[in-house]
């Protein structure tokens, strides 16, 4: 019997030694400089193949690249044109420091235009008609359509993230509660929201809830809410349903003995959750939370369906006016990538900070 046990133990040690040698050989193979260089070359080949396929597509359709026109979609200098509002006469043209005051007298009254020097061709006594250009000059820098769309996307995503976190934490705590009204309400919320498309929910929030709420607000003399707020509501509720399950999984990963210890020390259920359990669960739920909020940024592109000019809708409008299809869609994808990559890096930094504590 002892000899059999010794044979079994020696066989086990022999298999462990073989596994260790295989692991060491795998590590050596991965750390081999030649293999590393070959893998980098393989990645570059794939990258050039993707770029080449895009270039071939543009050649096949005889597409003309116009990247030099892209900067105006971020910042541009506006052109200000002043028109005459009726029939009348140029009454006076007086110098005003480095500008000129042009006074036009019409049947509707007298109006003075302050314009820079060299932007008009009028003299005193000239007659004007409706639609005549009084002056035209270059204004200051203005944000372009893509810059405005990027700002709207960032604003909506940030606000929806805050509300989604609040809904998710409250729902997650209710989801693991033993109180039926809390637990069943959280379960119903999760199943209904996760079981229907986000686009349908956006339409319901805007056309059904939005119409009803705005009518009630206007009946009470309160200004109606903008479409952006109903888009934020839809994204917050949708994201919150997924955060509920993430928070629930993080809470259940904590040993239940900690809950019992906290309750025995006199804490209430919610005090135990918010002071003991949730801070520990944060380390577990950070990675899936990051993925969910990255999805939120991308899901905000659906808000263009209710006339919110976020980044995707702004890109479509830019393509409609300029026909720069490839440039603007590639630029739109890069901007979304920058937003999501930045968020991912921030979450990784928070993971490292929480791991060291």
**Cα separation, 139 vs 76, whole angstroms:** 10
pTM of the predicted model as reported, rounded to 2 decimal places: 0.76
pLDDT tens per residue, range 238-287: 999 999 988 888 888 777 777 777 777 777 777 777 777 777 777 778 78
User: By CB neighbour count within 10 A (0-12 exposed, 13-18 middle, 19+ buried), where does 167 fall?
Assistant: buried
In 3D space, the residue among 89, 80, 87 whose CA is nearest the CA of residue 122 turns out to be 89
pLDDT tens per residue, range 35-52: 778 888 888 999 889 888
Which helix (H) or strand (E) covers residue 129, if one does? none
Q: What is the pLDDT of residue 203?
A: 93
pLDDT tens per residue, range 188-223: 999 999 999 999 999 999 999 888 888 888 888 888
**Cα separation, 346 vs 206, whole angstroms:** 32
Q: What is the pLDDT of residue 61?
A: 79
Q: Which residues of the chain have pLDDT under 70?
A: 1-31, 354-357
Per-residue DSSP letter, 226: P
User: By CB neighbour count within 10 A (0-12 exposed, 13-18 middle, 19+ buried), where does 63 fall?
Assistant: middle
Q: What is the pLDDT of residue 6?
A: 47
| Residue 341 vs residues 103, 243, 294, 333: alpha-carbon distances, Å | 55, 20, 9, 12
Going across the sheet that includes 99-106, the strands are: 109-116, 99-106, 88-96, 127-128
């Amino acid at each position: 019997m002892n000899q059999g046990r010794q044979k079994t133990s020696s066989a086990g040690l022999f298999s462990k030694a073989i596994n260790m040698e295989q692991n060491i050989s795998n590590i050596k193979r991965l750390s081999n400089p030649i293999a590393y260089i070959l893998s980098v070359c393989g990645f570059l080949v794939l990258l050039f193949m993707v770029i080449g396929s895009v270039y071939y597509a543009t050649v096949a359709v005889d597409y003309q690249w116009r990247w030099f026109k892209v900067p105006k979609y971020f910042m541009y200098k506006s052109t200000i044109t002043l028109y005459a509002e009726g029939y009348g006469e140029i009454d006076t043209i007086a110098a005003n420091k480095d500008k000129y005051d042009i006074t036009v007298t019409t049947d509707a009254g007298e109006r003075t235009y302050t314009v820079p020097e060299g932007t008009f061709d009028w003299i005193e006594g000239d007659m004007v008609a409706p639609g005549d250009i009084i002056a035209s000059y270059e204004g200051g820098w203005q944000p372009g359509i893509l810059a405005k769309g990027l700002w709207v996307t960032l604003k909506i995503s940030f606000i929806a993230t805050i509300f989604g976190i609040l809904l998710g934490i409250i729902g997650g705590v209710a989801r693991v509660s033993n109180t039926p009204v809390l637990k069943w309400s959280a379960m119903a919320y999760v199943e209904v929201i996760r079981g229907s498309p986000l686009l349908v929910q956006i339409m319901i929030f805007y056309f059904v809830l939005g119409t009803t709420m705005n009518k009630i607000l206007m009946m009470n003399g309160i200004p109606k809410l903008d479409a952006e707020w109903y888009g934020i509501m839809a994204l917050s509720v949708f994201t919150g349903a997924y955060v509920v399950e993430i928070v629930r999984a993080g809470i259940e990963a904590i040993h239940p003995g900690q809950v019992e210890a906290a309750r025995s020390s006199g804490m209430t259920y919610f005090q135990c959750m918010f002071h003991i359990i949730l801070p520990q669960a944060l380390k577990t739920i950070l990675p899936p939370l990051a993925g969910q909020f990255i999805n939120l940024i991308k899901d905000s592109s659906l808000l263009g369906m209710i006339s919110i000019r976020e980044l995707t809708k702004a890109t479509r409008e830019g393509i409609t006016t300029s026909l720069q299809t490839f440039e603007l869609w590639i630029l739109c994808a890069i901007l979304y990538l920058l937003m999501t990559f930045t968020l991912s890096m921030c979450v990784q930094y928070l993971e490292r900070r929480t791991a060291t504590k």
